[in-house]
Amino acid sequence: MKKLSRKIIFEVLVLVIVGLTPILWFHDGNQLILGHDAGLTLNPVPHFFDRLFLWTERYGFGNDQAYALPGFFIHGLEAIVTYLGASIQLQQKLTFIFWFMLPGMTMYYFASRLAKKLELEFFALPVSLLYMFNHFLLQGWLIAERTKFSVYAALPIVMVFLYDWAEGKRSTLKTSIFISVTLFFLNGTGSLPLFGGLIVVALAFVIFHLLSSFSLEKILGLLKLFILTIGISVALHAYWLLPYLQFVATSFQSAVSQAGGESGVLGWLEYISRNSSLVNLFRLQGIPDWYNNPYHPYANEFLKNPFLILVGLLLPVFAFLPLLIYKDKKKRFYIIFFSFLALFSLIFIGGSHPPFGAIYVFLFKFVPGFIAFRTPFYKFAPALWFAYAILIGFTISYFIQKLNIKKKVLSVTFYVAICAGIILYSYPFLTGSFFDYWVGERSTKVEVPNYVYDFGKFSEAPGRLHKRTLLLPPQSNNFRADVYKWGYWSLTPLTSLLTNASFVSINGGTPKDEGEIIDSLYQKMRQNDPSWPKVAKLLGIESFLLRKDFVWEATDTPTDNPLIYEKVLANSQVKKAAEFGEWVVYDFVDESSITPRVGIFQSLSYVVGAPKDISTVVSLSTFPQDQPFYISGSAVTDESVLMLASNAYIKPECINCLQQSKYINPELFTPSLIRGSIFYPFIEIQNKNEEEKIQKKSTQEKLDFYLYKSLEDVLALQKLVDEKGDTAFVVPIVQDYVSSLSKLKKELKAHVAEIDNAFLIESIDVIRTQESTFLGKSANILDAQTIEEINQAYDLIIDIKKVINGAVWQTDDTEKRFLVNVPIGQEYQLLYRPNDFSLGSLRTLEYLVDGKKYSSAPTASESGWMSLGANVLEKGIHRIEITQPSVNLYSGPTTVEVALADGGECFFMNPIRAMENEMYKISFKHRRLEGTRNLPVRIKKDASSAPIIDFKGDVLGVNYFEENYGTFHRVGKNEDVFYVALCSDPTTDTNSVPSVVELKDIVIQKVAVPDLVLYSDSGKEKSAVKFDYTRSSQTEYIVNADLKDNQKYILAMNGSSNDNWELSGMKGEKFVINGHANGWILDGDGTNGTIKYKTQGMVVIGFAITALSIIILLTVALINLYVGKNKK
């Protein structure tokens, strides 16, 4: 017994020593693990306290963070260590040692008990080492995935309890309590998918438990255990479960759609499972990041080194060898179970990879909630690693025990070598190289500059903590990644890990409308539009943080040069507040007109438009800054809000101003079954039923139906031709098409005046697709039998185009057309901004309002706005057309002969100065005079020769007759000038002669998208409302106001709009104010009110339930202990 204890002490000591491995990862005093998905913070204590609230101000205008509460223990541990005085690096070292050691220790507990039960020598230590040092954990350590480690560590303990229960050593109630308490502390931050491995192990256990001796009693026992465990767990986890359930109820669908909907998730599943073949999993590989990744720090060694390949292939041999070598029934019971578990888990880990992929996809599609397991490898793999550790432990134990009988010293040497080999097989643990997830480029091991910490302290100061700061430059549109020159790369903004202060930027979690509003502010700043301070103040932005160390020129995450913003911030309205190395803080000089966090107003501005238009409307000098605004997107009126409006701004869209056509993807509309299929009769019945149903529906629905039915018909024809189907079906399919077109034409003609303009624009694209498809395929089917039907279809296409073109309202080259939705009939000022500097100042502008012609001599004001005069408009929809000439920006001769000889040589037109996102139209006539070289048209950033290999650009056809060429160019990021070039591609033909081409009528013109705003003032008098507010916490504000009875007011809380924000003590109707914030229309009833984030109350209740549950469990435990002692 004494010997055994010494052995245990020794083995635990070994585990403790190897558990100190994380110390090896930090080579420098300043190095930290930060970025990617790590979620490790630079300020653990305030961060921990912030996570106790369901509303955080760390991101944008505020965010729900119900997902954060289950991280109580993980972040609590980090907070405690830091609170006790540890530096951030020491804190990371200590907590990493804890998380690194924990799986080894829990596995040792399980394995040593099994070893004792089965009289196994040399078993527990290698099993624990295998469970600690492996490639699954190695991948997790890249981002120090503590959530994953917690469930991984819980797995062996839960199995101990389950086995004890199955063997009758512990009662069902006790077992349930023990399992629940384990999962209370090691909770995987409540992420269900992380429990995938545990669920698979539990399922395998249940199957085995029932197979060993099936009885109703056993089923009832399992059911009791399950229900009790769930019940106790729910009570213990109530502190996060209660608020989280509400979050899931409201956010599950949006989370799925954010991931690209079900199809997007399936695409992800396909990607993740690409290398999860059974053989890869058998050798404990198949980790998605390993494959086709030359930048992986170590994977390629394991995939290409023959020795490591051999070791990998020997792993399954060692794992399943115990099935052959052990004959003892007791041991075989466990060996068969773990072998079964290994095979069973492979079905899940493989995801959509064959041979079991179809089963997984089926579960994915049809089992509610299974979609959560969209990354099967990472979620289910712990079950396999758990099984392998035990099975390989059996093999090691068998051989060492055999050897030990004859040669003790040799066996011990061999044993030590095996233990060392287990660690060495996962050698990146010893070097820390696994943090460099993109070798030479990106790493989660970084050195944080001191100025970042200094800024953190500065922003945590009481005077700064509640200031709302805009981050500059913005994160890239591609990934919204926060990237710094000193190595930080993450989708989580660094500031959110540094301080609890509010920083506004667009990140992955920013709501769409809010993102559009912030983006429009960034755009205004980029353009140095004089109105940007007004927009910023209206959004409640009080400060700006310019990060000059931001990586803005990265190819995958390009954004604006910080210098652009530095110039913009050299503005008299802002002042430099502080400077910390590469980070500079700017504040507004005059803070009085900044929208407060909470405010009460008598009136608001009523804006008809989209959230992205708000910065355009705000740039008008008449737009009031001392009251909030309401954006009504589509509704003509929203009566209760309109009553409070002191003015109205209508910002109509310039219809199809960019002259871009929409691509219709034929794959989405091609029918899977067409005439000729044996199942087609069913389709015919279905079509007939649909057509009968559609007759009872609205005109718009009928039009939609026939438009897309005709598209499907023509695509059916294309399918028949492409698949070389039976030509006997050509005529019936064309007849189907003719029939659909005839019905579409009839409906269009009958209701042309009432058809929605958006539908007409959409129809143009759909009919164009139909026409090109039909033109392309009719040549293959044209014969005496089909000519009549083909002609008929052509005639119908032409007729339909005529009807649509006659009715559609959209912009052409010079006529800018708008549809204006007027909420209230009155006189409106028409304000216009051409957004085309090449025009200079316009002397006169002609425009039509509902067909009536007007002429104006506008004068440009601030921000380029022109007043066209006033017009009285009735409530309803109006058509406005403004004639805006365009200027040819090409300044060379009208006819040019271009001779290009060498590959890579280019002819450049004059440079065009442009701004990001602007659209330019390029057109010319061309005629080949000599040569046959490929001559592509390219848009280039500079006038240097083209690179030798460049496949971009449209190649001009070798045509000796004059041909037209046209294209559009949208100006990219950081592109302030571009050149239209005609280049010569390299050729291998040594006899090739120089090519000469004649270019005529060259036109480069800006496709301007002008702004039109209709403005009216109700003349309503505005007086300031006396009020004050106090901020109790980030989830509660108390408001006191002097309100008059029977008068309406607006209460605005300038935080991100969320249904959970509720007002009590005052009577108010909730609505979205300022395009993104919480607003209430008050009745003037009551003077004191509280704005509360209502689910925060659930946290309190949840913590109370959790605390009560712990007290009850402790009492039960104490009683048990007392009773047990008395019995003894």
Partner 1 sequence: MWEKIKNNLNKVYKWFQENAVKILTVIVVHMILSYIFTLPYINLVNIAFGYIAFFVDWIIILILFKPKKEYILKFGLALFILSFPLAVFDAKWSVEMLGNISYLMIATYILFSLKEIRSK
Q: Which of 942, 930, 941 is nearest to 984 (CA)?
A: 930
Q: Which residue stretch of 111-119, 332-340, 712-720, 813-821 sits at the interface with partner 1 (rule: CB under 8 A)? A: 332-340
Among 2, 3, 27, 329, interactor with partner 1 by CB under 8 A: 329
799, 743 contact by CB (below 8 A): no
Q: Which residue stretch of 320-328, 812-820, 923-931, 962-970 sits at the interface with partner 1 (rule: CB under 8 A)? A: 320-328
Nearer to partner 1, 324 or 668 (CB): 324
Counting Cβ atoms within 10 Å, is residue 1040 exposed (0-12), middle (13-18) or buried (19+)? middle
Q: Shortest approach of partner 1 to residue 332 CB, angstroms?
A: 6
Nearer to partner 1, 49 or 362 (CB): 362
- Tell me how far apart the alpha carbons of residues 360 and 719 are, in angstroms, rounded to a whole number: 32
Q: Which residue stretch of 93-101, 307-315, 1025-1033, 1044-1052 sits at the interface with partner 1 (rule: CB under 8 A)? A: 307-315
Query: Would you count residue 9 as binding partner 1 (CB under 8 A)?
Result: no
Q: Shortest approach of partner 1 to residue 200 CB, angstroms?
A: 16
Among 358, 658, 685, 798, interactor with partner 1 by CB under 8 A: 358
Instruction: Please give the span between the terminal C-alpha atoms of the chain, in angstroms, as a whole number.
Output: 22
Number of residues that bind partner 1 (CB under 8 A): 36
Q: Before 354, cis peptide (omega within 30)?
A: no
Bridge partners (DSSP) of residue 818 are 654, 880
Nearer to partner 1, 343 or 554 (CB): 343
Query: Would you count residue 952 as binding partner 1 (CB under 8 A)?
Result: no
Site for partner 1 in 169-228 (CB under 8 A): 208, 211-213
Among 10, 83, 271, 333, interactor with partner 1 by CB under 8 A: 333
Query: Would you count residue 327 as binding partner 1 (CB under 8 A)?
Result: no
Q: Which of 1013, 1041, 1014, 1021 is nearest to 603 (CA)?
A: 1021
- Tell me how far apart the alpha carbons of residues 177 and 190 are, in angstroms, rounded to a whole number: 18
Output the CA torsion sign for 448, 451, 453, 459: negative
- Residue owning tokens 């599950």: 252
- Tell me how far apart the alpha carbons of residues 857 and 843 are, in angstroms, rounded to a whole number: 6
Nearer to partner 1, 92 or 280 (CB): 280
Query: Would you count residue 681 as binding partner 1 (CB under 8 A)?
Result: no
Q: Shortest approach of partner 1 to residue 672 CB, angstroms?
A: 12
Site for partner 1 in 252-291 (CB under 8 A): 277-280, 282-283
User: Cβ atoms within 10 A of the Cβ of 821, count?
Assistant: 19
62, 169 contact by CB (below 8 A): no
Nearer to partner 1, 61 or 337 (CB): 337
Burial track 317-334 (b if 16+ CB lie within 10 A, e otherwise) = ebbbbbeeebeeeebeeb
Among 94, 206, 266, 343, interactor with partner 1 by CB under 8 A: 343
Q: Shortest approach of partner 1 to residue 425 CB, angstroms?
A: 17
Among 316, 351, 823, 1055, interactor with partner 1 by CB under 8 A: 316
Identify the three-state secondary structure at position 732.
Answer: helix
868, 830 contact by CB (below 8 A): yes
Q: Shortest approach of partner 1 to residue 317 CB, angstroms?
A: 5
- Mention every residue, 6+ apart, whose C-beta is less than 8 A from residue 318: 391, 392, 395, 396
Nearer to partner 1, 168 or 1124 (CB): 168
Q: Shortest approach of partner 1 to residue 216 CB, angstroms?
A: 17
Nearer to partner 1, 14 or 311 (CB): 311
Tell me the H-state helices in 491-620.
Answer: 495-498, 512-526, 532-538, 562-568, 614-618
Query: Would you count residue 332 as binding partner 1 (CB under 8 A)?
Result: yes
- Mention every residue, 6+ apart, whose C-beta is less than 8 A from residue 595: 537, 538, 539, 540, 628, 1052, 1054, 1074
- Tell me how far apart the alpha carbons of residues 1019 and 642 are, in angstroms, rounded to a whole number: 14
Among 85, 168, 306, 947, interactor with partner 1 by CB under 8 A: 306
Counting Cβ atoms within 10 Å, is residue 1038 exposed (0-12), middle (13-18) or buried (19+)? middle
Identify the three-state secondary structure at position 90.
Answer: helix
Q: Shortest approach of partner 1 to residue 361 CB, angstroms?
A: 8
Bridge partners (DSSP) of residue 1093 are 1061
Q: Shortest approach of partner 1 to residue 280 CB, angstroms?
A: 8
Among 23, 230, 310, 728, interactor with partner 1 by CB under 8 A: 310
Nearer to partner 1, 309 or 731 (CB): 309
Q: Which residue stretch of 95-103, 327-335, 389-397, 1031-1039 sits at the interface with partner 1 (rule: CB under 8 A)? A: 327-335
Among 118, 206, 323, 491, interactor with partner 1 by CB under 8 A: 323
Q: Shortest approach of partner 1 to residue 346 CB, angstroms?
A: 7
Query: Would you count residue 683 as binding partner 1 (CB under 8 A)?
Result: no
Q: Shortest approach of partner 1 to residue 169 CB, angstroms?
A: 16
Among 98, 109, 340, 809, interactor with partner 1 by CB under 8 A: 340
Q: Which residue stretch of 302-310, 484-492, 575-583, 988-996 sits at the interface with partner 1 (rule: CB under 8 A)? A: 302-310
Query: Would you count residue 525 as binding partner 1 (CB under 8 A)?
Result: no
Residue 608: alpha-carbon gap to chain centroid: 29
Q: Which residue stretch of 352-360, 583-591, 722-730, 1117-1125 sits at the interface with partner 1 (rule: CB under 8 A)? A: 352-360
Q: Which of 83, 81, 49 is nearest to 68 (CA)?
A: 49
Nearer to partner 1, 319 or 707 (CB): 319
Q: What is the DSSP string of 189-236?
A: GG-GGGGHHHHHHHHHHHHHHHHHS--HHHHHHHHHHHHHHHHHHHHH
Nearer to partner 1, 156 or 316 (CB): 316
Nearer to partner 1, 279 or 1100 (CB): 279
Q: Shortest approach of partner 1 to residue 405 CB, angstroms?
A: 24
- Tell me how far apart the alpha carbons of residues 522 and 510 are, in angstroms, rounded to a whole number: 15
Q: Which residue stretch of 108-116, 173-181, 333-341, 648-656 sits at the interface with partner 1 (rule: CB under 8 A)? A: 333-341
Q: Which residue stretch of 303-311, 586-594, 1012-1020, 1085-1093 sits at the interface with partner 1 (rule: CB under 8 A)? A: 303-311
User: Cβ atoms within 10 A of the Cβ of 87, count?
Assistant: 13
Q: Shortest approach of partner 1 to residue 221 CB, angstroms?
A: 17
Counting Cβ atoms within 10 Å, is residue 81 exposed (0-12), middle (13-18) or buried (19+)? buried
Q: Shortest approach of partner 1 to residue 354 CB, angstroms?
A: 6
Counting Cβ atoms within 10 Å, is residue 661 exposed (0-12), middle (13-18) or buried (19+)? exposed
- Mention every residue, 6+ apart, whose C-beta is less than 8 A from residue 11: 108, 112, 124, 125, 128
- Tell me how far apart the alpha carbons of residues 1037 and 1042 are, in angstroms, rounded to a whole number: 17
Numbers of helices and strands, H then E, in the chain: 35, 38
Nearer to partner 1, 350 or 493 (CB): 350
Positions touching partner 1 (CB under 8 A) are: 208, 211-213, 277-280, 282-283, 306, 309-310, 312-314, 316-317, 320-321, 323-324, 329-330, 332-333, 336-337, 339-340, 343, 346, 354-355, 357-358
